[in-house]
Amino acid sequence: MTQPGFRSVVAKGVAVVALPAMLAACGSSESTSNVLTAGQAPCPRITILADGADLTQYVAGAPRDLTTMVLDARIAGFDAVCDYASRDRRALDVRVTPRFQVERGPAARGGSLDLPWFAAVSDAGDTDVIERQAFTARAAMASNQTRINTNGQAARLRLPIGDGVSAGNYVVRISFQLTPDQLAQNRSRGPR
């Protein structure tokens, strides 16, 4: 149960930082809001992996060109809410909701497009991935739409804190779930 005054909201700010080798040596973007007032729950550092921020899908087995593109999407940002999980402040509940920009390609069939993504929590030194949750967002488009903005479902994470462990001991990263070919394509074309 959320206590009034125990809530912190971090949203919409993004800056570039380096990504650890542990998560495929990608770059990342992170929220820059750390301003807290007394009683607010702090959020861990939350980032968007730069190499995983774009997803372009083509018809399987076809050459990669505009005519075979099914979708082109990017993680445009995220909203995050952090609350203490209890009065004793021994756990932190973190909800991260990605925001997507999606374009339907000429080869898309049907009214919805699936966007596989994940949220991963690591320790501050990036030596261990503590938790990873995978999701599939669905971008529903009318037949006359080619572009939409949509949100994914919230990733809900509970992080233990106290006894010298704080929100700063964790890093939360969000990314599209990419195939090796999609990751190579993102790296070769660079950030957009």
Q: State the average pLDDT for the chain.
A: 82
Quote the strand ranges of 60-111, DSSP E: 69-84, 91-104
**What's the pLDDT band for 30 if we cut at 50, 70, 90?**
very low
Strand 69-84 vs strand 7-11: parallel, antiparallel, or unpaired? antiparallel
Residue 13 has pLDDT above 50, yes or no: no
Residue % of the chain over a pLDDT of 70: 80
3-state helix, strand, coil in the chain (%, to 5): 10, 50, 40
Of the candidate ranges 7-16, 27-36, 45-54, the one whose mean pLDDT is the lowest: 7-16
Residue 140 has pLDDT above 60, yes or no: yes
Residue 40 has pLDDT above 80, yes or no: no
Of the candidate ranges 4-8, 43-47, 48-52, 172-176, the one whose mean pLDDT is the lowest: 4-8
Residue 167: its pLDDT value, please?
92
The Cβ of residue 132 has, within 10 Å, a number of other Cβ atoms equal to 12
**What's the pLDDT band for 171 if we cut at 50, 70, 90?**
very high
pTM: 0.77
**What's the pLDDT band for 149 if we cut at 50, 70, 90?**
very high
Residue 94 has pLDDT above 80, yes or no: yes
Residue % of the chain over a pLDDT of 90: 62
Buried b (16+ CB within 10 A) or exposed e, 109-131: eeeebebebbbbbbeeeeeeeee
- Scanning the structure block, which residue is given the tokens 């009065």? 87
Residue 39: its pLDDT value, please?
55
Amino acid at 175: S
